Amino acid sequence: MYQWSRQDRLLHLLPAIPLIAFYVGSTYLLASESVWLVVVFLLLWVAVNVFAAGICAGCPYRGGYCPGICQLYFAPFLSLVMYKGKEKCSGARSFKVHLALLGIFGLGSYAFAFYWLFRLYWQEQPLVVLGLLALLLLHMPLSFFILCPKCGYNDTCPMARVHKVVKKGSDSDGGGQASPD
């Protein structure tokens, strides 16, 4: 288990900044039209955290600092409540179900936000809508390349697993050996 340094935590703020700007901007614009749009958007975010909490149940980082916090997840703490005293939700099948639901609701929440942002604001403020899309697209690679490498010590977090596979592939392409940072 990796011990996050102060420098790590400061660096982790970099991918968090565009994500926070995306959520603040999107929530503001949706709320300007209808409070119900914001309610649904936030409920989707809560659902993402509920399913992520099932994954966090098997993670050594849950309950403390982890890169998931910079992705605006409260799942690492929710997991302690939902899966109190358990180190795993309930096996590989349950992990896959939680992962699938996390992906569906995660993508669903972004699709929901952009469906309404495009529909409501594209005609009058296309640059604002494109700016929000750019913030989200900027967050994704920053998150993957800054948050995930050290978390690759962890066999639970889905993105850490993906990062391990990518790193292993690029190391073997270059003739090197995969190893944690």
The footprint of ligand SF4 (CB under 6 A) covers 55-56, 59, 61-62, 66-68, 73, 75-76, 151, 154, 156-157
DSSP letters spanning 94-152: HHHHHHHHHHHHHHHHHHHHHHHHHHHHTTT-HHHHHHHHHHHHHHHHHIIIIIHHHHT
| Cβ-based nearer residue to ligand SF4, 37 or 59 | 59
Compute the least distance from the CB of residue 163 to ligand SF4, in Å. Answer: 11
Residue nearer to ligand SF4 on the CB measure, 63 or 176: 63
State which residue, 18 or 76, has the beta carbon closest to ligand SF4.
76
Whether 180 contacts 152, CB under 8 Å: yes
CB of 67 to ligand SF4, least distance (A): 6
Nearer to ligand SF4, 84 or 123 (CB): 84
Question: Nearest approach, Cβ of 164 to ligand SF4 (angstroms)?
Answer: 13
The least distance separating ligand SF4 from the CB of residue 125, rounded to whole angstroms, comes to 34
Identity of residue 147: L
Determine the straight-line distance between the first and last CA of the chain, rounded to whole angstroms: 12
Rounded to whole angstroms, the Cα distance separating 165 from 139 reads 20
- d(CA 96, CA 35) in angstroms, rounded, equals 34
